[in-house]
Amino acid sequence: QKEVEQNSGPLSVPEGAIASLNCTYSDRVSQSFFWYRQYSGKSPELIMSIYSNGDKEDGRFTAQLNKASQYVSLLIRDSQPSDSATYLCAVKVRHGQNFVFGPGTRLSVLP
């Protein structure tokens, strides 16, 4: 069983719409949650981190965490073609050495 699961997509949304990316994880002791964006042929880049239940907003991005449901999501408001990328969910146990990454969701924002 995969530890971090994401819908591989592609998820297609029109420009200006809200893109919703979802991630579920299996380890209940996971403490930290991250969203990385990866453009094709490039390296992952951190865009959001969240550590407690609820919402965290940063510009057009909102991360949502529900530890009881073992679910973390990323909302992108006013989606732009430049947001087209693969979004990786990563989960970490506080004292563990490893970030566990999901396989990523490919997002396509259509002009």
Which residues of the shown chain bind other proteins in the complex (CB under 8 A)?
A: 4, 8, 31-32, 34, 36, 42-46, 49, 51, 88, 90, 92-104
CB of 17 or CB of 103, closer to other proteins? 103
Minimum distance, C-beta of residue 1 to other proteins, in the bound complex (Å): 14
CB of 15 or CB of 53, closer to other proteins? 53
Closest listed residue to residue 74, CA positions, set 44, 46, 41: 46
Q: How far apart are CA 41 and CA 35, in angstroms?
A: 18
Through-space distance between the first and last CA atoms of the chain, rounded to whole angstroms:
37
Minimum distance, C-beta of residue 98 to other proteins, in the bound complex (Å): 5
CB of 17 or CB of 67, closer to other proteins? 67
Burial class (CB in 10 A: 0-12, 13-18, 19+), 46: exposed
